[in-house]
Chains A and B, each alone.
Chain A
């Protein structure tokens, strides 16, 4: 996708967009730092994590937080801190890819819907209405039930699609509204008069002008996707053992140890909340920065 890479002209200010963003949106800058730290931990998990996340150590079962195990260990003696670090890889990979696939598909459908109008618009909108009749997590569960388990290269592909599909209609609706404004611009008429193909007009002329809502929705839905992945894994229908994933760490026997090992519950949940918080806040700040009038 090239549309994600192009910078909208609005933010081209003399000081450079990044510095300007940090100055205008200090909270956004903070959340951006949190996201960067998580991405670093996710990419270089092997270097950052003190232990192997899968290493079972029967001598250290359920040990409380200490200098050796910062966040304690779980029922198999696995180091929770290391599992949290590897878990950020799982969360970010699934969060990014599913939000990217869902938002991109939604954006294309939204623009096409606005561009063609008429019957095509109607059909697309009705299908989106059908998909919108469900809470995100319910639709994701239905897709999980439909796709069964499908793992490719250590990544749960079924999970990515299960989370991406509910995102599509939500993005499509917002992008369509923005694209309807672009549709009436003289340059679109000019492009049509010049005889450009529909796909060229959609991708080269209209898409760059709805990048702002697209980016805002993309970040906001990374938060939703991380939350959905954690929820599905918690329910035992997402990532499966022994992979390190935050939601999975809260499920199953974690609840049996409320009394003995509260750290098994506290830390993974705090990580989910922190990740979702950071992406929500970043999305909010991005919205205020790129397009203050825009409402989700």
Chain B
């Protein structure tokens, strides 16, 4: 088990290295950098000298390989350098916003999974009845409605029905849970809808597959209550593929958050990412990309390990 985990962790090194090379050089293929955005924003006349000085200050004038080397040395020691825009450490900027985004992501996951499991199960058990069709409409809606527009619709309905909008300033949950939840439940719902749809569809199809298995017939034949057949025999096996989807989609929540945080004006990871992209803030983009990739790799590992917990047939050696 431990050997398996270690070898898996070693395998992630080339992937993460590839990500680092890819993002670093991709950002620098086309001319143009943060200095232009910065100085253009200030207005007034910009001399070439000013541009050169600023580049020199940020280390953008050095040869590419030197820049890359310096950055990599930092990455290995978990120092991602300073943001080229705010000039504060990248890790610091991320840490400030991680709490909010992570909370929204976890809340979205909880909402999604708790709705998706009964929804997908009902759809499979009552296949081709109105329950199944209604579920299909709900889930296809979840796949089609952009989460940011769904967020806007939530805001619109809050305004229309309660004449109220969620607070904009973030309060940590341990300071004031009510203020915290009234702010963050809405974005969690907005990104959770799609999540829920994906998981419910997966549960429906895998449950349908499992219900055809011989051991389900055996269980029914030996007189097990139908409830137990579903919960112990069918669902336990059907949930396995769903775990993969839940894990994968959890890492992809960051994609939904990138856009949805903008709608709710949340100062989270997603908004930071969008700002960094529009400012050409290379170090910030690089740092965030590395973190997202690392996160993805580790969630994948966690999913594989969870498999072994839920399915005793799987042993990692």
Query: Using a CB–CB distance below 8 Å, which chain A residues touch chain B?
Result: 126-127, 129-131, 133-138, 141-148, 223, 227, 230-231, 234-237, 250, 255, 258-259, 262, 265-266, 269, 272-274, 276-277, 280-281
B80 at the interface (CB under 8 A from A): no
Specify which chain A residues have a CB less than 8 angstroms from the CB of B148 in the assembled complex. Answer: 231, 234, 250
With A and B bound together, what is the CA distance between A138 and B272 in angstroms?
Answer: 12
Specify which chain B residues have a CB less than 8 angstroms from the CB of A143 in the assembled complex. Answer: 26
Q: Nearest Cβ distance between residue B289 and chain A, in whole angstroms?
A: 6
Closest B residue to A131 by CB, please name it: B22
Closest B residue to A138 by CB, please name it: B255
With A and B bound together, what is the CA distance between A211 and B110 in angstroms?
Answer: 39
Q: A148-B30, A223-B144 are in contact. Are A237 and B277 (CB under 8 A)?
A: yes
Q: Nearest Cβ distance between residue A247 and chain B, in whole angstroms?
A: 8
B159 at the interface (CB under 8 A from A): yes
In the complex the two chains form, is A142's CB within 8 Å of B23's CB?
yes
B293 contacts which of A126, A133, A236, A262 (Cβ < 8 Å)?
A: A133
In the complex the two chains form, is B144's CB within 8 Å of A126's CB?
no
Q: Nearest Cβ distance between residue B6 and chain A, in whole angstroms?
A: 19
Beyond A130-B19, A135-B252, A235-B274, 20 additional contacts (C-beta under 8 Å) are: A127-B18, A130-B293, A133-B15, A133-B297, A134-B296, A135-B255, A138-B255, A146-B26, A227-B146, A230-B146, A231-B146, A234-B146, A258-B152, A262-B156, A273-B146, A276-B143, A276-B144, A276-B146, A277-B143, A280-B144
Specify which chain B residues have a CB less than 8 angstroms from the CB of A259 in the assembled complex. Answer: 159
With A and B bound together, what is the CA distance between A142 and B26 in angstroms?
Answer: 8
How many B residues face the partner with a CB closer than 8 A?
A: 46
Q: A142-B289, A272-B149, A280-B140 are in contact. Are A137 and B255 (CB under 8 A)?
A: yes
Q: A134-B289, A269-B152, A272-B146 are in contact. Are A236 and B23 (CB under 8 A)?
A: no
- Determine chain B's interface SS by DSSP, over half rule: helix
In the complex the two chains form, is A277's CB within 8 Å of B144's CB?
yes
Specify which chain A residues have a CB less than 8 angstroms from the CB of B274 in the assembled complex. Answer: 141, 235, 237
Q: A141-B273, A234-B259, A234-B262 are in contact. Are A130 and B18 (CB under 8 A)?
A: yes
Q: A255-B263, A276-B143, A276-B144 are in contact. Are A237 and B278 (CB under 8 A)?
A: yes
Q: A127-B18, A148-B30 are in contact. Are A269 and B262 (CB under 8 A)?
A: no
Q: A141-B274, A146-B26, A250-B152 are in contact. Are A130 and B145 (CB under 8 A)?
A: no
In the complex the two chains form, is A258's CB within 8 Å of B156's CB?
yes
B254 at the interface (CB under 8 A from A): yes
B305 at the interface (CB under 8 A from A): no
In the complex the two chains form, is B19's CB within 8 Å of A144's CB?
no
Q: Nearest Cβ distance between residue A275 and chain B, in whole angstroms?
A: 8
In the complex the two chains form, is A135's CB within 8 Å of B30's CB?
no
With A and B bound together, what is the CA distance between A79 and B292 in angstroms?
Answer: 41
Q: A236-B278, A280-B144 are in contact. Are A138 and B258 (CB under 8 A)?
A: yes
B312 at the interface (CB under 8 A from A): no
Which of A145, A258, A265, A274 has the most C-beta atoms of chain B within 10 angstroms of its own C-beta? A145
In the complex the two chains form, is A141's CB within 8 Å of B263's CB?
no
Specify which chain B residues have a CB less than 8 angstroms from the CB of A266 in the assembled complex. Answer: 156
With A and B bound together, what is the CA distance between A292 and B107 in angstroms?
Answer: 35
Closest B residue to A279 by CB, please name it: B144
Q: Nearest Cβ distance between residue B285 and chain A, in whole angstroms?
A: 6
With A and B bound together, what is the CA distance between A135 and B143 in angstroms?
Answer: 15
In the complex the two chains form, is B258's CB within 8 Å of A126's CB?
no
With A and B bound together, what is the CA distance between A147 and B159 in angstroms?
Answer: 40
In the complex the two chains form, is B144's CB within 8 Å of A134's CB?
no
Residue-wise, chain B 253-295 has the 8 Å CB interface mask toward A (1 for contact) of: 0111011001100000000011011101000010001001100
Specify which chain A residues have a CB less than 8 angstroms from the CB of B276 in the assembled complex. Answer: 145
Q: Nearest Cβ distance between residue A43 and chain B, in whole angstroms?
A: 23
Q: Would you list the 4 A-B pairs with minimal beta carbon distance, nearest first?
A: A135-B255, A269-B149, A277-B144, A130-B18
Which of A235, A250, A265 has the most C-beta atoms of chain B within 10 angstroms of its own C-beta? A235
In the complex the two chains form, is A133's CB within 8 Å of B278's CB?
no
Specify which chain A residues have a CB less than 8 angstroms from the CB of B228 in the assembled complex. Answer: none
In the complex the two chains form, is A129's CB within 8 Å of B15's CB?
yes
B144 contacts which of A138, A144, A258, A273 (Cβ < 8 Å)?
A: A273
With A and B bound together, what is the CA distance between A134 and B29 in angstroms?
Answer: 20
Closest B residue to A134 by CB, please name it: B292
With A and B bound together, what is the CA distance between A131 and B252 in angstroms?
Answer: 13
Specify which chain B residues have a CB less than 8 angstroms from the CB of A138 in the assembled complex. Answer: 254-255, 258, 273, 289, 292
Q: Nearest Cβ distance between residue A162 and chain B, in whole angstroms?
A: 10
Specify which chain B residues have a CB less than 8 angstroms from the CB of A227 in the assembled complex. Answer: 146
Q: A146-B26, A280-B140 are in contact. Are A137 and B280 (CB under 8 A)?
A: no
With A and B bound together, what is the CA distance between A75 and B168 in angstroms?
Answer: 24
With A and B bound together, what is the CA distance between A143 and B30 in angstroms?
Answer: 11
In the complex the two chains form, is A255's CB within 8 Å of B144's CB?
no
A to B CB contacts below 8 Å, 15 in the list: A133-B15, A134-B289, A134-B292, A138-B254, A138-B289, A141-B277, A142-B277, A143-B26, A148-B32, A235-B262, A255-B152, A269-B149, A269-B153, A277-B143, A281-B140
